[in-house]
Structure 1
Amino acid sequence: PDEEGAFFIWKQSEIEELVGQPAADWFCYRWGVEEDGNVRQDPHGEFTGKNILYESRSIEDVARRFDAEPDAVRAAIQQAAAALLAAREQRPRPHLDDKILTAWNGLMISAFAKGAQVLGDERYRAAAVRAAEFVLSKMYRDGVLLRRFRDGEAAIPGFLDDYAFFALALLDLYEAAFDLRYLETAVELARSMRALFEDEENGGYYSTVPGEGHLVLRLKDDYDGAEPSGNSAAALLLLRLAQITGDGAFQNAANRTLEAFAPRLNSAPIAVPQMMVALDFATSKPRQVILVGERGSDGLDAMLRAVRSRFAPNTITLLVDGPEAREKLAAWNPPIEGMTMVEGKATAYVCEDFACQLPSTRAEDLLSISNR
């Protein structure tokens, strides 16, 4: 079959034929299968009578509905799933797009890095690190970011979205792993991005590098649709780096980008939601939270949990956990040189526009500060 989703969807009658009763009824009840199909919005009628399996009810719900033992239900549903999997293996498989794209990996790395911070799940951090290290080792050469990797070969100079998405991903990953390499590489990528794509006269960024002979025009995209636009990501990247490094060039470039797309922001903000995120960052008072302490200590971990327990998108978190971090971060933000632990305890310095409040050694104080 070659219709949409054919490899993954099922008719109720197919399941009944493969599995038999009562397991078919149990399986269908658990996985939301309906005789007429379970796709609610099907404008082209492609899914009539077809079902996309999803976890509609728990094993316990199924057992109660059919007055059966949960263990028996669980075993029968597992056997049914194995039978359906074996049958699905006989279907023609959809073609596999096996390209590895830098921009899309950047989006994924950001998601895993943020998930690791919020949920405290080491698996997500590890997945983000693996993907980032792959891109850095296979697709970043001599300061040039490449767009795709396939069959052992990296090729095609990166577009704006490759640079912007991946640099943002490295910032998110830094705040999950506190590896200074990610921060330093994000700065390098942002500077390369400006050199390659910036419209210095009118503001904003072209999607492609100059000199692409097959292109009649260099375009500047702003639509945040299925994925954010490169310009929206670039604006947020530059704003965040300005708060980390104190580099006015990043701030000015971000401001010019927002000004370039001001008509769009005013006339159709619904079309540029990610740029609205950047605008919110630019017009708020972003906070820098500088944590000084021993990595892995109870005090520092408690402070990280406090910072991460609230939705505070316009907050930058930096970690000073030794001489190397102090030296590198202070090179960008000189006040960090004087930020030390108080009474040998993990200490937080909370700043707005690089003006810092008194240090705190209490995680609960940091929680109240980050929640304002």
Structure 2
Amino acid sequence: MSALYSWSRFGLRTAAAAAGRASTPTKLIFVVTKRCHSRCVYCDIWKVKDTPGGLDNELSLEEVRQVAAANPFLQWIDFTGGEPTDRPDFVEVVQAFSAACPDLLVVHFPTNGIATKRITEAVQQLQASLRAQLVVTVSIDGPPELNDRLRGIRNDFAHAVDTFASLRRLLGPGQVFVGMTLHGHKASTGLTTSELVESTFAAVNDALAQRQEAPIDWGTFHLNIPHLSQHYYGNAASGEKSAEKDGFGGEMHRAEIAAALRLAANKPKHGGAPVMRAVERIYRAEAMKYLATGKTSITCSALLSTSYLSEKGEVYPCTIWDQPLGNVRDSNYALMPHIEAARRNGIRQAVVEQKCPNCWTPCEAYPAIGASPGRALLALVHG
């Protein structure tokens, strides 16, 4: 398919979702593995590999190929983990969807950036074989000392900067980003979230300068709100005590995150498509509402234009709501039987009525913005 045809089709399908017409989702979030060699204090995914049987029963490559073949309508896929590239056949996994989905437009994956050589080689192979646009986000959660403590790996910051620089040379500056999750660490660092954002941005550019690499600007530096999710992060099992963990603060922490988002909004940004700058502005405006009230005015598109598939084949509404819908191994690897059942059983309606846990993660937020043009426009005007 030509890119123009595929983008036109994506636009029509997004417009149909905006009109409330239920069809096949355009986007899939696919956890390719729970393998991860980070040891993050705010995420327990890395513990799965050390749990007896924790990695058993992950979808095999042949099963992944069957999933791809059974769902050729996908146009946007986030491959996540764990660390996606810790799966030895990660490149083949992505290529399976590229081969089976003729209108695939965007492939994105986050990375911890630890194994620079392996990650770079994977991106080189994907760049040579994908028709879709390849986008990568490298996770950096603070200046060097704090980042390494939070992510549990010595020299993690240095490895992540090396990986960012390597991938940016390959893909270009518009396709590689730094992602920082805004955990609260004032008690242990004496710095507000805004101060940590400023110092992390400066530290990344200092490290790039030491490598004789061009600096990043604020358009490349993405800030994310932390969330709890049992089936994904595995960080909500302790219930109320989870909220007491370092990095999952209460009202004061939410206020600090809002201040950091305002700080970033006022920083100069160069390049980038106007539509993407508008989407970022809408994301921030709705993030402010979420931080203040726990809800947004934009209706989530989970089970309408987005879906989530775990490493073991379980279908969920999204990354946050721990509501299993069934396993693709029981539906010839097709997503739609589970999504359609969730629509009939009122689970999609619960999302519409905000009776789900409610979140504002980029995985769900960006598709929701596209599927809610009226409310998104209001957020853009008033944000």
Q: Please report the TM-score for the alignment, with normalisation by the length of structure 2.
A: 0.27
Q: Please report the TM-score for the alignment, with normalisation by the length of structure 1.
A: 0.28
Structure with higher RCO (Cα < 8 A, 6+ apart): 2
> For the pair shown, which has the larger CA radius of gyration, 1 or 2?
1
Higher helix proportion: 1
